[in-house]
């Protein structure tokens, strides 16, 4: 299976040198029933960690490091939804272990899906630990306390966002108190979304407007990252006026701009002007593997395809002359068959000591144009929606398009999201679900698909540890 089993080629992890200290602190108090946290290698008292701004900085760095070191954010958040949607498949028999995802036949004891659940909840737990630690600190300055709290609330929000989208109603965890979390029931989706919105709204007020906290690197979130995620969340909740308002915040910032057509193949270069939030994948500079897991699993290194290739439904959805097909995909012919592969991540070859100039991008500016286009269209502002849509099309080398009705414009925007945001942290799968088109689209290309499979199963191991959890229908 993907990542969480041992039947595929091993990958080298990226752990910065400070991570053992951070793991010791962040995982100090239990919560074992919910997320099976391992015993820490080094333990540091919470009082010591939050005794000063300098000490607390290690905790916030650890929050991001743990998030990316977890297998889900490196790959599974893209690969599993990409397989269950209509984006990727496998081309070689040795990768048939992925067929349970490709065929939407995930079972409740699947290790990869259990790993996704665990990884998201570990990040939530770590975020809660920082929120609580900062709140109780008497040695930190107020500006740093606000910044760190905002960052932790963003992390808590984005992990809850993926959980509720992939699994449906899930436990809403807002504390590290094991007495409250050990038997936490599934909260309804509306309650979870309300908390996500509250966290992101507060984060906007707490976070800095620039990237000074991370030395100019776009690897820690600022107020615009919170606004960008909030805009996405409002689309999911159907609040289109608020989605447009949040997207306006990001699009109105001079810190961000779309890459030009000539430079669009650098979409994941570290700290590029289009990036809003990225994970630093470089980790330990002594590691042999000098590239992201996205390259390792998607880009071929020799004469055979990589683990994942693009589905023909995605490849065929590009219009003639679309430069995204030219710049963001590659081809390889193997045993007479032509395969297309994801080439948004282009630098470094697995197992070589190549320079790493790409980071794993979580939020980009192009999504915000498409969020605002859809929000405007849904509010009846067809001219405004078309203007945003055509900005994205122009960068891709395509002519302006027109739409006479709201429905036709929304369809054009959804198509543009498919070819612009493909293999970007599962957005295609989430789009199919939120628009109610998943059954028709996936049912038409996968005979074994059943409507209940739009939600992943609650891991059986979690249900055994927490009797308050119930299984999704059909599993």
Show the domains of the chain with their CATH numbers. Answer: 19-99+110-351+365-465 (1.25.40.390)
Q: What angle do CA 52, 55, 56 make, to 5 degrees?
A: 85
Q: Report the distance separating Cα 355 and Cα 364, nearest Å.
A: 23
Q: What is the pLDDT of residue 94?
A: 87
3-state SS string for 270-287 = CCCCCEEEEECCCCCCCC
Beta carbons of 469 and 168 less than 8 angstroms apart: no
Spatial CA neighbour of 85 closest among 463, 471, 421: 421
Terminal Cα-to-Cα distance of the chain (whole angstroms): 19
Q: Report the distance separating Cα 344 and Cα 282, nearest Å.
A: 17
User: 422 — phi, psi (to 5°)?
Assistant: -65, 140
Q: Report the distance separating Cα 469 and Cα 117, nearest Å.
A: 13
DSSP 87: S
pTM over 0.85: yes
Spatial CA neighbour of 255 closest among 208, 206, 316: 208
Question: In the numeric block, which tokens belong to residue 249?
Answer: 């915040």
Q: What is the pLDDT of residue 204?
A: 98
What b/e sequence results for 89-99 when a residue is b if at least 16 CB atoms lie within 10 Å of its CB, and e otherwise?
Answer: bbbeeebeebe
- Please classify residue 10 by burial: count the beta carbons closer than 10 Å to its beta carbon, then call 0-12 exposed, 13-18 middle and 19+ buried: exposed
Q: Report the distance separating Cα 165 and Cα 446, nearest Å.
A: 21
Spatial CA neighbour of 462 closest among 35, 173, 101: 35
User: 93 — phi, psi (to 5°)?
Assistant: -60, -30
Question: In the numeric block, which tokens belong to residue 390?
Answer: 């055509």
**One-character DSSP codes across 34-60:** HH-PPPPSS---HHHHTSSHHHHHHHH
The structure tokens 């498409």 sit at: 370
Check the CA dihedral 221-224-226-230 and report its sign: negative
User: 44 — phi, psi (to 5°)?
Assistant: -130, 135
**pLDDT tens, the chain, 475 aa long:** 444 333 333 333 332 333 333 444 444 334 445 554 443 333 345 668 999 999 999 999 999 999 998 889 999 999 999 999 999 999 888 898 999 999 999 999 999 999 999 999 999 999 999 999 999 999 999 999 999 999 999 999 999 999 999 999 999 999 999 999 999 999 999 999 999 999 999 999 999 999 999 999 999 999 999 999 999 999 999 999 999 999 999 999 999 999 999 999 999 999 999 999 999 887 644 334 545 789 889 999 889 999 999 999 999 999 999 999 999 999 999 999 999 999 999 875 444 445 568 899 999 999 999 999 999 999 999 999 999 999 999 999 999 999 999 999 999 999 999 999 999 999 999 999 999 999 999 999 999 999 999 999 999 999 999 999 999 999 9
Beta pairing, strands 275-279 & 329-334: unpaired
The structure tokens 């793991």 sit at: 23
Q: Report the distance separating Cα 196 and Cα 386, nearest Å.
A: 29
Give, for 340, the enclosing helix (H) or strand (E): strand 337-342
Q: Report the distance separating Cα 236 and Cα 435, nearest Å.
A: 9
Beta carbons of 140 and 56 less than 8 angstroms apart: yes
Check the CA dihedral 33-34-36-40 and report its sign: negative
Name every residue whose Cβ is closer than 8 Å to that of residue 356 and which is 6 or more positions away in sequence.
281, 282, 290, 291, 292, 347, 348
Q: What is the pLDDT of residue 356?
A: 67
Spatial CA neighbour of 289 closest among 18, 6, 15: 15
Beta pairing, strands 309-310 & 88-89: antiparallel
């Amino acid at each position: 299976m993907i990542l969480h089993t041992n039947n595929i080629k091993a990958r080298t992890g990226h752990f910065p040198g400070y991570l053992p200290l951070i793991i010791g602190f962040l995982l100090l108090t239990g919560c074992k029933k919910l997320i099976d946290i391992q015993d820490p290698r080094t333990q540091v008292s919470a009082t010591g960690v939050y005794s000063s701004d300098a000490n607390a900085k290690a905790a916030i760095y650890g929050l991001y490091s743990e998030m990316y070191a977890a297998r889900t954010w490196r790959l599974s958040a893209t690969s599993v939804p990409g397989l269950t949607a209509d984006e990727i498949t496998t081309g070689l028999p040795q990768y048939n272990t992925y067929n349970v995802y490709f065929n939407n036949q995930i079972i409740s004891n699947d290790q990869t899906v259990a790993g996704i659940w665990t990884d998201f909840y570990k990040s939530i737990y770590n975020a809660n630990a920082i929120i609580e630690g900062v709140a109780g600190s008497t040695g930190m300055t107020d500006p740093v306390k606000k910044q760190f709290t905002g960052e932790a609330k963003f992390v808590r929000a984005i992990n809850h966002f993926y959980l509720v989208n992939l699994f449906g109603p899930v436990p809403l965890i807002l504390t590290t108190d094991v007495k409250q979390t050990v038997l936490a029931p599934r909260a309804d989706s509306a309650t979870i979304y309300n908390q996500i919105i509250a966290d992101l709204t507060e984060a906007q007020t707490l976070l800095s407007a620039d990237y000074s906290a991370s030395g100019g690197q776009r690897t820690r979130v600022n107020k615009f990252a919170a606004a960008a995620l909030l805009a996405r969340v409002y689309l999911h909740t159907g609040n289109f006026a608020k989605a447009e308002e949040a997207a306006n915040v990001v699009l109105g910032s001079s810190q961000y701009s779309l890459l030009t057509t000539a430079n669009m193949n650098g979409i994941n270069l570290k700290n590029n002007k289009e990036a809003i939030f990225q994970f630093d994948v470089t980790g330990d500079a002594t590691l042999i593997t000098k590239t992201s897991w996205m390259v390792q699993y998607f880009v071929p290194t020799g004469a055979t395809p990589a683990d994942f290739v693009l589905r023909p439904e995605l490849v065929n959805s590009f219009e003639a002359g679309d430069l995204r097909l030219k710049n963001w995909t590659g081809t390889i012919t193997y045993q007479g068959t032509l395969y297309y592969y994801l080439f948004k991540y282009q630098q470094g070859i697995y197992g070589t000591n190549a320079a790493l100039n790409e980071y794993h991008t979580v939020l980009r500016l192009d999504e915000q144009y498409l969020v605002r286009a859809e929000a405007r269209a849904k509010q009846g502002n067809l001219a405004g929606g078309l203007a945003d849509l055509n900005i994205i099309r122009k960068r891709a080398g395509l002519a302006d398009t027109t739409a006479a009705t709201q429905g036709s414009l929304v369809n054009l925007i959804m198509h543009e999201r498919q070819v612009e945001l493909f293999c970007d942290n599962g957005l295609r799968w989430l789009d199919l679900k939120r628009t109610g088109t998943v059954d028709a689209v996936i049912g038409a290309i996968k005979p074994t698909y059943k409507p209940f499979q739009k939600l992943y199963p609650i891991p059986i191991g979690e249900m055994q540890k927490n009797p308050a959890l119930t299984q999704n229908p059909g599993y």
